[in-house]
Structure 1
Amino acid sequence: MRNAWRRFRVSELWAHVEEVDSIGAVSLSAEEARHVATRRLRVGSEIVLFDGRGRVAGARLRSIARRETVVEIEEVREVPRPDSGFVLASAIPKGDRLSTMLQMLSQLGIGTWQPLVLDDSAVRRLDPGASRLRRILIESCKVARRAWSLDVRAPIDLGVALDSTVGPIFFGDREGEGGPLDSEATLLLIGPEAGFSEAEHRRLLEAGALPRSFATHNLRIETAAIAGAVAHQIARQT
């Protein structure tokens, strides 16, 4: 099982399915079938199926046709959800910058992204169940080869984020100290391009949050979030 899993994990193609149940035949969606055709895979080629909720299957292409592409599941593995207890919370980037941020956070192993609505937020609404967002998260899983999709929560304000957190809290601040986060950090907060308002800054300090700088210059939301994710990973690995 272990050796087979390693082989499948580096497969050139990961395909999303709604449910990974048991060994047997399953039809791919039209979109995933197009990916198979684009890669010019043949009957017998190995692929990986995943549902984004921890179930992953090693499979082989059984038939490829214009109307239907069928794969045969050979083994199923249930991957436990990573339990780091860490949440990255940020203001919501505009347009395609949101997609860029979510893809990078997925690749960097972040488990949960908490959207924030702040005093100077340009974007104040986000539907975690939107089809566009779901497509972004699925594609991010494929690139990152991760069994669990990034958990995107409904937007909240700063007070709720702080009051619901137990453990070390950090926030992005150009005037803060540099370096990695505390390995036990439970929450990292990233403000909008304009930064946290004076009232929010006071609220952060009153909650015991520590400022952390990721660069000498001002950063866009997605850049700061990605830098913060890297700082978190470095802290966990050292």
Structure 2
Amino acid sequence: MPRTHATLPRLFVDADLAQSAEITLDKDQSLYLAAVLRKAIGDEAVLFNGRDGAWLCRLTADSKKSVALQCVEQIAPQPPRLDLWYGFAPLKNERLDYVIQKAVEMGTGTIQPVMTQLTQVHRLKTDRLHANAIEAAEQCEVLNVPEIAPEVTLERLLACWPVEHAERQLIFADEAAASASPLETLQSLKGKKVGLLIGPEGGFSPSEREKLLSLSFVTPISLGPRILRADTAAVAALAVIQATIGDWR
């Protein structure tokens, strides 16, 4: 998005965006623009929907209950859908929010909650995960909002992987592996579709780790000599993947 538009409010909408299209915001978004930001008729905002790129839009109605905008021009094309798959064992409260936000910022295309034997959280609010992903995209000028996949057990994920992700290699952060740089291992996956799996606090159970290491579609990596918290490990692994074989190159 051009830097001249970077200071404008950015909102995710479900509606189609096109030249001269009229968009009516929902109640919460209307309240945010009209009451919180005090935007009035003639003011501008940026809207995106994950399909049609980013659009500069101008307010045509500024009721606190129903703000309407008209699309003026597309200011950024829609980029290709992001391909990086990210699976993680859910964490508690704020740390869960943090993981979702950082996964969006780091360029994941699918976010998959995975229930393991040592997972601390067993009931997820999918709406909250989706809201966090949208908020992160709004704040960071991301036009692709990742899919939030339904939670799945690790056992089922691994059983279905060869069918559902036949051409994708699953990278798993192995906290029990000897300390080593992951760069050489990741370089060997260059050109392949990949996914990343991060375990819970306390790591994978011995039986889960044994199962992971036995599968041909799983590639273990070390994240260095220190024990990382699960949320830190997620950011570190996503960064090194994107820098080595992802879209940072």
Q: TM-score, normalised by structure 2?
A: 0.80
Give, as a single letter, the amino acid of the residue that structure 2 aligns with 1:221: A
Equivalent residue for 2:78? 79
The reply on whether 1:200 has 2:208 as its aligned counterpart is: yes
Structure-1 separation of matches of 2:220 and 2:205: 14
Equivalent residue for 1:19? 15
Cα deviations by residue, 1:46-103 (Å, 9 ceiling, x for unpaired) = 311122455542211223234432211123576254243x311111111121111111
Superposition pairs for residues 6-85 of structure 1, below 5 Å? 6=2, 10-22=6-18, 23-36=20-33, 37-75=35-73, 79-84=78-83
Which residues of structure 2 form unaligned runs of 5+? none
| CA deviation after TM superposition for structure 1 residue 196, in Å | 1.0
Structure 1 residues 17 and 168, CA gap change in structure 2 (3 angstroms): closer
Give, as a single letter, the amino acid of the residue that structure 2 aligns with 1:79: Q
Which residues of structure 1 form unaligned runs of 5+? none
Structure-1 separation of matches of 2:5 and 2:59: 16
| CA deviation after TM superposition for structure 1 residue 151, in Å | 1.1
Contact 2:8 2:45 (C-alpha < 8 Å) held by counterparts: yes
Contact 2:50 2:78 (C-alpha < 8 Å) held by counterparts: no
Cα deviations by residue, 1:147-185 (Å, 9 ceiling, x for unpaired) = 221211112222433341334332112335324434435
Contact 2:31 2:64 (C-alpha < 8 Å) held by counterparts: no
| CA deviation after TM superposition for structure 1 residue 45, in Å | 2.8
Give, as a single letter, the amino acid of the residue that structure 2 aligns with 1:121: T
Structure-2 separation of matches of 1:142 and 1:73: 17
Contact 1:126 1:154 (C-alpha < 8 Å) held by counterparts: no
SS at match of 1:216: coil
Superposition pairs for residues 186-197 of structure 1, below 5 Å? 186-197=194-205
Structure-2 separation of matches of 1:221 and 1:196: 11
Structure 1 residues 141 and 83, CA gap change in structure 2 (3 angstroms): closer
Structure-2 separation of matches of 1:50 and 1:78: 10
Contact 1:50 1:57 (C-alpha < 8 Å) held by counterparts: yes
Equivalent residue for 1:119? 117
| CA deviation after TM superposition for structure 1 residue 9, in Å | 5.7
Report how many aligned residue pairs link the two structures.
Answer: 231
Structure-2 separation of matches of 1:191 and 1:49: 35
Structure-2 separation of matches of 1:52 and 1:18: 9
Give, as a single letter, the amino acid of the residue that structure 1 aligns with 2:26: S
Structure-1 separation of matches of 2:46 and 2:14: 13
| CA deviation after TM superposition for structure 1 residue 43, in Å | 3.4
Q: TM-score, normalised by structure 1?
A: 0.83
Structure-2 separation of matches of 1:78 and 1:19: 16
Structure 1 residues 69 and 17, CA gap change in structure 2 (3 angstroms): same
Contact 1:13 1:47 (C-alpha < 8 Å) held by counterparts: yes
SS at match of 2:98: helix
Give, as a single letter, the amino acid of the residue that structure 1 aligns with 2:171: F
168-177 or 113-122: bigger deviation: 168-177
Give, as a single letter, the amino acid of the residue that structure 1 aligns with 2:215: A
167-176 or 100-109: bigger deviation: 167-176
Equivalent residue for 2:228? 219
Contact 1:20 1:55 (C-alpha < 8 Å) held by counterparts: no
| CA deviation after TM superposition for structure 1 residue 125, in Å | 3.5
